[in-house]
Amino acid sequence: MIYIRRAGGEDRHKPKYWAAISQTKELIQEVCKGGISPLEQNQVIKTVHGGNNRGTYVVEDLVYSYAMWISAKFHLIVIRAYKMLITQWKVGSRQTISPEQKDTLHKIVDHKVNGNQGLRAQVWTRHNRHFKINSYHELLAIHFEDAVKYLLEMEVKQRVEKEEIKSLPYPKEVIQVAQQISNEFNGSKYDSWHVSARNGVLTAMPLPPGFYPTMNIAEFTKRFDSVLDLLYGTDTLRVGRYMLAEMNKKP
């Protein structure tokens, strides 16, 4: 038995108040279930009212309970110590995640991929690579919270598959001419082509620079320049513009 006394010098911390709360009573019942004899059960907590040894005495387990009741700081120390112990146990035993934790991860992935099987495979692959495992079944329990955070924050993008280019239902000869033009154009041999269809025959003729099917543009420019020189050297254009403006004024 260990003697406990009022801590902090405050009446509210007297052991009798701690012993009276329901949580302490339930704890005493649990301690008594530990296989101790009826005689020892009566000694789990004992109060001596007189003599030199007066005070409250409890078994070791209850000492920690009383200390946590009067000190929030000590309560937190016990919690952290317990967490550290559990973590060390999980690391040492390499305990993997439980079925419930696996189900939680599955639900996160299902929500993220929205039925897209391609994205599902991508998410699990990235997850397993991140935690250096072959399958999520191998995920250690100590990494469960990290896995939840990783999956929730993961950004996924659906791969855009290239559309297959299919040949249009053109006649064979049209495709051949188009292929000929494409090859010549890519080789930069010709810039212009004249395509004609006569008597059911499709032909393609490359045009030299400046040449159009109906005229030789270079020859046309040479001759038209002389006409412009004549017109700009007289009043012909000025008079013609004046007459055109007058005609437009008439109703």
Residue 27: its pLDDT value, please? 87
- Residue 110's pLDDT band, with cuts at 50, 70 and 90, is very high
For residues 111 and 93, give the distance between their C-alpha atoms in angstroms, rounded to a whole number.
32
Q: If DSSP codes are grouped into helix, strand and coil, which group holds residue 190?
A: coil
For residues 142 and 138, give the distance between their C-alpha atoms in angstroms, rounded to a whole number.
12
In contact, 231 and 237? CB cutoff 8 Å: yes
Residue 217: its pLDDT value, please? 63
Residue 190: its pLDDT value, please? 63
- Residue 44's pLDDT band, with cuts at 50, 70 and 90, is confident
Residue 161: its pLDDT value, please? 56
> Which pLDDT tens digit goes with each residue over 191-226?
676 667 677 666 667 776 656 555 566 676 777 777
- Residue 243's pLDDT band, with cuts at 50, 70 and 90, is confident
End-to-end CA distance of the chain: 126
For residues 21 and 32, give the distance between their C-alpha atoms in angstroms, rounded to a whole number.
17
Residue 92 has pLDDT above 80, yes or no: no
Residue 152: its pLDDT value, please? 93
> Which pLDDT tens digit goes with each residue over 136-147?
888 988 889 999
Residue 241: its pLDDT value, please? 78
pTM exceeding 0.75:
no
CA distances from 54 to 50, 57, 200, 203 (A): 5, 9, 124, 121
